[in-house]
Structure 1
Amino acid sequence: MGPAPTTASYRGKAGHTAEDALSELETARLAVETAERGNMLHTSLEVLLSEAEDAYSSIQATFDSIQPPDSPEADRIRDRLDKILSAGSDGLAQLRIAARRGDAAEANSTSAGLGAVSQSLRDFSDDPRA
């Protein structure tokens, strides 16, 4: 994507990244919940989870391609968001695998665990400096 010329612009890009990632993560979690209630076909769940994982990966890759400015704050922002994004990426992969295996208990457990990642993304988007 290119460099972020200032720490403020980098902070803004990071906040938008967190919001976009949160949307994909919550879409996946809602799909698991909907499937658990019997309101979504298994094949639809698999497709939705795969698409959410792909979109999330694209969001993460786009953020990773941004060259941060040379500032300690930018480095902290990058490190903090990278950790959160990685946890979400791992969780989405686990959801997809559980769904393909038809393991509803694992999917539900993983989805519940991703609630903490969602909260971290929400908190980050509210204040990337925290």
Structure 2
Amino acid sequence: GGAENAHCWSDGWKERVTLMHLLTHSAGFKEWYNFKAMGLDDASKIREWVLTEAEMVYVPGTAYRYSDLSMIVLGFVVEKVAGESLAAFAGANIFAPLGMGSTAFRGGAGSDFDWDTRIVPTEVDRVERARLLWGEVH
């Protein structure tokens, strides 16, 4: 079922975080962290920090706080279980079966998706960051 343990941590009450907690933003995480300011500039560094250093701010299942970390950890879980990137998994198992040919998730190498004309304008930051925003609060 959807409430099985996410198996991301090996000690303490983080072990009790379930997929349902992640999906409902009730996993115990702080709302957000400024990863760039923390020197965490790629997915592997973020994953390591989340799994080893991120502090829980409330017991899982006892509150609701919209949290970027819930979705980040959920993505890590999907990648671990599927054995492939979240982008590849979403493309093959969600977008393609639904006939969503104009939908992409973090287009990878060889992607022919037209990012400049087929994406919501708020995702293409041409001023402050001068790039496509991927997985960032804005």
TM-score, length of structure 2 as denominator length: 0.29
By relative contact order (CA 8 Å, sep 6+), the higher-ranking structure is 1
Question: Taking structure 1 as the reference length, what is the TM-score of the superposition?
Answer: 0.31
